[in-house]
Structures are given as C-alpha cells and as structure tokens.
Structure 1
Amino acid sequence: MPAEKKKDKKKDDTPPEKQKGVYMFANGDKYDGEFILSDGSLERHGKGLHETPGGVRYEGEWDKDKMNGQGRLMHATGSVYDGDFVNNKFNGFGKYTWPNGSYYEGQFIENRLEGEGQFTDTEGQVWTGTFRYKAAPGLQFKLALD
C-alpha cells in the first residue's frame, strides 16, 4: 500500500500542461495568453496580455498568476512602467514614465525608486544619483554639451 501512495504522489507532482487562450473574468478583465489549469482554476503562466475595463494594460511574463519577469504596465492616466516585476511589483531595473513625459530609469524595490538611477525632467535635463523612495540626496545634474 505505501508503494501505491508514492506512485500517486509522483503523478500529482507532474506540472500542468501550459495552454494558450483568451479568458474573460467576471469583473470584465480580459486575459489573452499562456496559462495552466491548477486545481480546476486558471493560473496565468508564461507570456500574456491582461486588460481591465478601466484602461490598465499589462503585457509581459506571468508566473504563479502574478506579474513576474519582464513586462510593460500601462495605466489609464498615461503612466508607463517597462521593466522587471516580482510578485506584481516593480522590482529590479526599469523605466517609469509619467504622463508629462518625465521619466526615471534605474533600480526599483517593491514599487519604489531605490538605488542607482537617473531622472529626466520635462525639459530633458538629466539628474543622476542614488534614489531612496521619495528622497534623492546628492543628485548630480548631468550637463549635456552639444
């Protein structure tokens, strides 16, 4: 009898097969991409596009039903993040662009500007240095000589 339990356990450890298709959520969200069926429910896994009726759009990599890996998140306001995601958060290297055209390129930790990066304002002026969430002590102006 114990040998049968081990055999059944191995069968259960087989990863589900990746599929591709379109899924409409009850709240109106739409997912078009790769997924697996885990315990009878859809789990986004692989590359895909998720759109909300409110205008939020994420295109990129998914793992365990979360944004994980490289992706692009566009908000209805016009803000855009291109970069690394870990468990639905900006984490790693990325570029965040505000609706006014200014942008930050650099390191993120849990949705925060954290580490080395540069901020380019609406006039095209570039500021480099170490960012600490909402503070950036010691930023340096990068002078562009033509």
Structure 2
Amino acid sequence: MENVSCGVSELIQISFVFPNGDTYEGECRRSATGALERSGIGVNRSPHGVTYTGSWKNDRMYGLGKLEHPSGAVYEGEFIDNKFHGRGTYTFPNGAQYIGNFTENKMIGEGEYVDANGLHWKGAFHDKAAPGLKLRLKM
C-alpha cells in the first residue's frame, strides 16, 4: 500500500495483506492523519476462515454486512463499530436462527427464534434470555 496516493475523501480500490495474515479487498480512503483505512465496500478474510463482506467506515465494520465463521455461524445485518447493532439475522451452526434487533452484539428487544426443527418462537429477548417466548402456530 505504500505507493498508493489518494486525497482525504477519495475512495480507492486496494488489495492488502495485514501482518496477522488477514486479507482485504475493497475500498479505502486516507484519513486526516494520512493512514489508509477500510472505508466503503470490501471483503476481509482471516487465515482462520472468518469472512466479513460489507460496509466499512473508519477501518471498522459499519453499516450492512455479512460475517461468516468456519463453524457455520453467520450474522447478516447492521453493524456499528465492529459490533452487531441494529436489525439482523444470526444463524447458529445447527441451523437455528434469531431474527431481530441487536445492541452491541446482544439480542435485545422483539425478535423471532426459529429452532433447529423449524418451529418459530416470538417474544422479547434480553441477551441470552427470552422469558415468555410464544410458539407461533401455523394454522
């Protein structure tokens, strides 16, 4: 990246390998201090199989994106400062899903849980607890 020159607000396409082995392909911009930061749309892959595809702002996952883990777990939705924050869907390795709101990586508020058997549960979530979930019956 040393030979790349761009203005503070100008987006450029890059392909970069970080010292930890992560790779990034996508848009970046130069910060006010002169450092290149992931900004715009891009794909970041870790050597351990974690892949993030989506929006970046100030070198952080920000906006809409998809985070995939080698275990099969996938989060697709809104991010703020590298955290699940806003509306999203988290798919667990066993295929179960939570669809709803997230606050700083936690399931918070109204949401729906679809268990591994395909049953739909609705209710209020408080991180890992969801007292009073109701089974949604299909008639």
**Common fold: TM-score over 0.5:** yes
Residue 144 of structure 1 deviates from its aligned partner by 1.5
Structure 2: distance between partners of 1:114 and 1:92: 9
Task: Confirm or deny that 1:15 pairs with 2:8.
Answer: yes
Whether 2:48 is the aligned partner of 1:25: answer: no
1:1-146 to 2 correspondences below 5 Å: 15-38=8-31, 39-145=33-139
Alignment gaps of 5+ in structure 2: 1-6
TM-superposition CA deviations, 1:43-70 (whole Å, max 9, x none): 0000000000000000000001000000
| Counterpart-to-counterpart distance in 2, 1:92 and 1:17 | 28
Which residue identity does 2:11 align to in structure 1?
K
Q: Letter of the aligned partner of 2:115 in structure 1?
A: D
Structure 1 window deviating more from structure 2 (34-43 vs 91-100): it is 34-43
Deviation for aligned residue 1:143? 0.7
Moved over 4 A (4+): none
1:77 Cα offset (Å): 1.1
**How far does residue 40 in structure 1 lie from its aligned partner after superposition?**
3.6
Displacement of 1:27: 1.1
Q: Secondary structure at the match of 1:100?
A: coil
TM-score (norm 1): 0.87
Partner of 1:4: none
Structure 2 Cα separation of the partners of residues 23 and 90 of structure 1: 25
DSSP 3-state at the match of 1:106: strand
How large is the Cα RMSD of the aligned pairs? Answer: 1.1
The share of aligned pairs that are identical, in percent, is: 47
